[in-house]
Structure 1
Amino acid sequence: MGIIEIIQQGENKNVEFKSWINSNKKNLINTLTNEAVGFANTNGGIILVGVEDNGEITGCYDYDEQNIIESIYDKTMPKLFTDIEEIKYKNKYILKIIVEKSPEIVATSKGVVYKRLGKNTKPFYPSEYTTNKILGFKGDYSANIIDSTTKDDIDFAEVERLKLKIQSRDKDSTLYQSDNIMFLKDLRLIVTAEYAIRLTVAGLLFVGTKAAIAKYAPQAEIIILTYSDGYTEYNKRLELKMPLIQSVERIQQFFEDRNGIQNIQMGLFKLEVEDYPINVFQEALLNAISHRDYESNASILVKFYPNEIIIENPGAFPSGVDSSNIITHPSSPRNKLIAETLQKLKYVQRSGQGVDIIFKDMLSLGKSAPEYNLFSEAVSLTLRSNLEDIDFLKFITREEEKNGEFSVSEICILKYVKSNKTITLAKAAEVAQVTRQSASNVLNKLCQKRNILQREKRNKYMFTHRVYESLDDSVEYTKDKDFDEIQAKAMIIDYLEKNGSITRVDVERLCGFSSTSSKRILKRLRDEKIIILKGRARASHYKLN
């Protein structure tokens, strides 16, 4: 059914309309969270943002799709994963938020539960729940209860370590103030029934004794292999069968001891570039832990080669995820409870897979893109340490100093233009793994900076000549300089017609030119008697002749 047909049928138990233009954005996020919780606790549904209650399409503007997804994720418990589809209708944009039915009761972060009743969202009270016990659910093996476990299987020294981590890392949290049993219950690492304590799979992996882990989850090990030369035989093997946080810290120390640094000269200072950014390796490792198939007998393998790291993980990607959408596909971790616990311990700072962080940081440091290989029962990720493109590293560093940090979409697009000189709208959508509309927005944003990209022709973009000059690409600089200056001439005349006068500094900002280029184009316009100079020194400015 098309979007117009859905709107014409009006709101119902599966469809909700929300206005964008008449809403306080903070209040709107809270409302969207409540509606999403209601749908998740009923039969799922869609929220159409940019549509009034009467079905009038008023549209959305200046929105951040990722922020909406993350806000709903952060404001729900257990964390609710939603998806957003951007729909254009008569030059107006509707955001279609898709909410799947949850296999367990979902509440807001304030502890309020809702359900869908007809076309309204109503409070959902405990007496109406089919069950108040968390027994694990399909799709989250880590939330299953291990019936034969007892209190004796808990390593309470490890519990205290987790409490100290939360206390030091999350000043707003009160979790660590509870006694040990309540702390574990709040994290859903244990359940209690008739005075008996049972560990969930996540509980076993986070706070189980080594003996309990070996007994109930012997497959839950991480193996580190190191290779000196070649790819055939390793020279060191380390098997980790211990609580997850202990394993993570052991691997992180192992990684840091081997992570080298290369100094890159940039003007008067040196830029230290690590072989592998620490946050990239951490995201990759935590993804493996959150997404691995704990029912598989295979282990997570972390292989350290002289110039690359390969992480092999048992368990295929979720349905619908492949190499063409891995950056932007909404996260759906196989082990949600493990992922949520890592987030509460502040090992994961945000919702989502972290794949975008891995791509962005590797590419912006002039390294090759992460390589994912997908198999029927496993996934491998390869990270390479070699500096593939030092010029791109310097370029991104300089631009971010001036304009702030680039997004992963911007980095992917800029990297492609650096390698291929130009990019079309279709190719931009492909390399950034976003819709054409989103790609158009990113390209327009880069063009608005006027010193990064410019439009060569309809739906085709390239670097400005200033960028080619900074990249020391004399051929492209010469070819594109004339194009830039022709375009700049029209822009300056248009500016003067609207504003009356312009300064050299205005030209630099307007056209993205250096001081030298701005002086040159202004002199050319004066020689052609198109503009005249008024005033002197700092008071000097230009007007149309």
Structure 2
Amino acid sequence: MDIKEVIKQGETKYVEFKSWVKANKKELMNILTNEAVGFANSDGGIILVGVEDDGEITGCDDYDEQGIIESIYDKTIPKLFTDIDVIKIANKDIIKISIQKSHEIVATSKGVVFKRLGKNTKPFYPSEYTSNSIKGFKGDYSAKIIEPATNDDIDFTEVERLKLKIQSRDKDSTLYQSDNITFLKDLRLIDIIGDEIQLTVAGLLFVGTKEAITRYLPQSEIIILTYNEGQTEYHKRLELKVPLVQAVDRIQQFFEDRNGIQNIQMGLFKLEIQDYPINVFQEALLNAISHRDYESTSSIFVKFYPNEIIIENPGSFPSGVDSTNIITHPSSPRNKLIAETLQKLRYVQRSGQGVDIIFKDMLSLGKSAPEYNLYSEAVSLTLRSSLEDIEFLKFITKEEETNGEFSVSEICILKYIKSNKTITLGKAAEVAQITTQSAANVLNKLCKKRNILQREARNKYMFTHRVYESFNANIEYTKDKDFDEIQANVMILDYLSKNEYITRKEVERLCGFSPATSKRILKDLREQERIILEGQNKSSKYKLKK
């Protein structure tokens, strides 16, 4: 159904309106969380932010889509995954938050449970639950109970290791203060049935003894292979059939010992560029652990080559994810309990699958894009260490010092323009894996930062001269430059036909030129006696010659 028709029909059991312009933004995040919990505990639904209770469209501005997703994720237990779309109606942005029905009861992080009742969200009390014990974990293999496992299969040294991780990394948490059994139960790593303690799959992987892991989940091992230059056979093999925290820490240390650094001169200082950003490798490894198919008899392989790292993971992409949307598709980890435990241990600092981080950091450092390959029963990720585009690295570094950090969408678009000179609106949406409307918003933001300039056609963009001049311009760039300077003359004269005067700074903004180029253009127009100069220095103004 068309979104306008949905708004016209008003709020229902499946639709909620929320104002953006009238709300306190911090309180709004709590309200959105409550509404999302209500829908998750009912039959699902959508929240339309930017629409008043009476259906008036007031829109949203200065919003952070990822921030909203993470806020709801961080404020719910178990963690709630939502989808967000931005829809433009009457030149106003409406944020559509979609929530699926949950197979288990969802609460806010404050322990409050809501349910949708007609067009309102109401508290949901334990006496109303189908069962007073929240159960299910349908579809989450890592939350399943390993019935033969007992208390004897728990390595309590690993339990203490987890407690220390949480104590040192999360100052607000009180989890580590509990006794060991309560701690494990709160993390849902165990279940207690009668007087018996039973481990979940996640519990076995995090706190199981090596013997228990080998007995119940031998395929959960992570295998590290290293290769020498020019060799097709590995020269070293390390099999880690140990609890996950031990494995992750050991692999991380192995990685850091091999990770080289290249120094890039930027003006008076040197920029240290690692072969692989540490957070990129960490995200890639944790993704493999959270998304792998633990029912498969295959293992995770981490292959270290002289110039690349390949991580091979049993299992296909999550449902709905493919190579065309992997950057922006909301995460739906195959093993939610493992993903949640990693986040509580602060190995993962945010919700989501981290693919956007992997793409953004690799491209912004002048390296090639990460390469995902899907096979019938596995996914592989290849990271390459070589510096593919030093000019792009220097450009991004310099721009971020002035304008702040770029988003992954902006980086993908800028990288494409650097390689292809121009980009259309449709291609921008494709390379950034976002909607056309979102791509238009990103392009407009980049125009305001003076990184790209709309030109030739309505939906075609290219770098401004200021950016061209930061690169080693080739002949074709020079041809474009000559063409745009002719256009600039027309733009300046047209501006002056409607305005009393123009300043050099305004020429820079209007045409996207550097100060030097703007000064030269204005000088040429004066020599042609098309404009005159009034005032000096900062008070200089240019007017049409009559």
The bucket for the TM-score relative to the shorter chain is: over 0.9
Whole-angstrom CA distance in 1 between matches of 2:481 and 2:76:
52
Per-residue deviation, residues 356-386 of structure 1 (Å, max 9, x unmatched):
1111111111111111111222111111112
Q: 1:531 to 1:111 in 2, by over 3 A?
A: farther
Is residue 418 of structure 2 the alignment partner of residue 418 of structure 1?
A: yes
Residue 71 of structure 1: CA displacement? Answer: 1.3
Residue 471 of structure 1: CA displacement? Answer: 1.1
Partner of 1:312: 312
Deviates more, 1:225-234 or 1:203-212: 225-234
**Counterpart code for 2:334:** R
Q: Is the 8 A contact 1:303 1:309 kept in 2?
A: yes
Whole-angstrom CA distance in 1 between matches of 2:392 and 2:532:
40
Deviates more, 1:493-502 or 1:522-531: 493-502
Whole-angstrom CA distance in 2 between matches of 1:451 and 1:318:
36
**Counterpart code for 2:384:** R
Deviates more, 1:77-86 or 1:391-400: 391-400
Partner of 2:400: 400
**Counterpart code for 2:111:** G
Whole-angstrom CA distance in 1 between matches of 2:170 and 2:29:
23
1:114-133 matches, within 5 Å, as 114-133=114-133
Partner of 2:330: 330
**Counterpart code for 2:168:** S
Q: Is the 8 A contact 1:468 1:474 kept in 2?
A: no
Partner of 1:11: 11
Mind listing any 5+ residue stretches in structure 1 that lack a counterpart? none
Whole-angstrom CA distance in 2 between matches of 1:507 and 1:407:
28
Residue 532 of structure 1: CA displacement? Answer: 3.9
Is residue 59 of structure 2 the alignment partner of residue 72 of structure 1?
A: no
Whole-angstrom CA distance in 1 between matches of 2:483 and 2:133:
68
Whole-angstrom CA distance in 2 between matches of 1:491 and 1:189:
66
Partner of 1:276: 276
Is residue 151 of structure 2 the alignment partner of residue 138 of structure 1?
A: no
Residue 529 of structure 1: CA displacement? Answer: 4.3
TM-score by length of 1: 0.94
**Counterpart code for 1:186:** D
Partner of 2:202: 202
Q: Is the 8 A contact 1:464 1:480 kept in 2?
A: no
Residue 491 of structure 1: CA displacement? Answer: 5.9
Whole-angstrom CA distance in 1 between matches of 2:128 and 2:157:
39
Per-residue deviation, residues 219-255 of structure 1 (Å, max 9, x unmatched):
1110001111446311111000111011001111111
Q: Is the 8 A contact 1:465 1:476 kept in 2?
A: no
SS in 1 for 2:197: strand
Partner of 2:181: 181
CA RMSD of superposed structures (Å): 2.2
Whole-angstrom CA distance in 1 between matches of 2:490 and 2:340:
54
Partner of 1:360: 360
Whole-angstrom CA distance in 2 between matches of 1:166 and 1:488:
59
Deviates more, 1:432-441 or 1:212-221: 212-221
1:491-530 matches, within 5 Å, as 503-505=503-505, 507-508=507-508, 511-530=511-530
Whole-angstrom CA distance in 1 between matches of 2:31 and 2:319:
30
Deviates more, 1:97-106 or 1:177-186: 177-186
Residue 192 of structure 1: CA displacement? Answer: 2.4
Whole-angstrom CA distance in 2 between matches of 1:454 and 1:475:
21
**Counterpart code for 1:421:** K
Q: 1:373 to 1:474 in 2, by over 3 A?
A: closer
Partner of 2:225: 225
Whole-angstrom CA distance in 1 between matches of 2:295 and 2:84:
31
Residue 5 of structure 1: CA displacement? Answer: 3.2
SS in 2 for 1:297: coil
Partner of 2:344: 344
Residue 101 of structure 1: CA displacement? Answer: 0.7
TM-score by length of 2: 0.94
**Counterpart code for 2:365:** L
Per-residue deviation, residues 484-514 of structure 1 (Å, max 9, x unmatched):
4355456656777888665545544554433
Aligned length: 545
Partner of 2:93: 93
SS in 1 for 2:481: helix
Per-residue deviation, residues 446-474 of structure 1 (Å, max 9, x unmatched):
11112434433210111112222221113
Deviates more, 1:43-52 or 1:494-503: 494-503
Whole-angstrom CA distance in 2 between matches of 1:143 and 1:56:
44
Whole-angstrom CA distance in 2 between matches of 1:501 and 1:2:
47
Q: Is the 8 A contact 1:135 1:144 kept in 2?
A: no
Whole-angstrom CA distance in 1 between matches of 2:185 and 2:534:
75
SS in 2 for 1:191: strand
Per-residue deviation, residues 169-223 of structure 1 (Å, max 9, x unmatched):
1222222222222222221112223333222111111111111211221111100
SS in 2 for 1:382: strand
Partner of 2:321: 321
Q: 1:495 to 1:179 in 2, by over 3 A?
A: farther
Partner of 2:40: 40
Q: 1:514 to 1:11 in 2, by over 3 A?
A: closer
Residue 435 of structure 1: CA displacement? Answer: 0.3
SS in 2 for 1:12: coil
Identity over aligned pairs, percent: 80
Partner of 1:245: 245
Partner of 1:463: 463
1:425-440 matches, within 5 Å, as 425-440=425-440
Q: Is the 8 A contact 1:292 1:315 kept in 2?
A: yes
SS in 1 for 2:191: strand
Mind listing any 5+ residue stretches in structure 2 that lack a counterpart? none
Whole-angstrom CA distance in 1 between matches of 2:451 and 2:218:
56
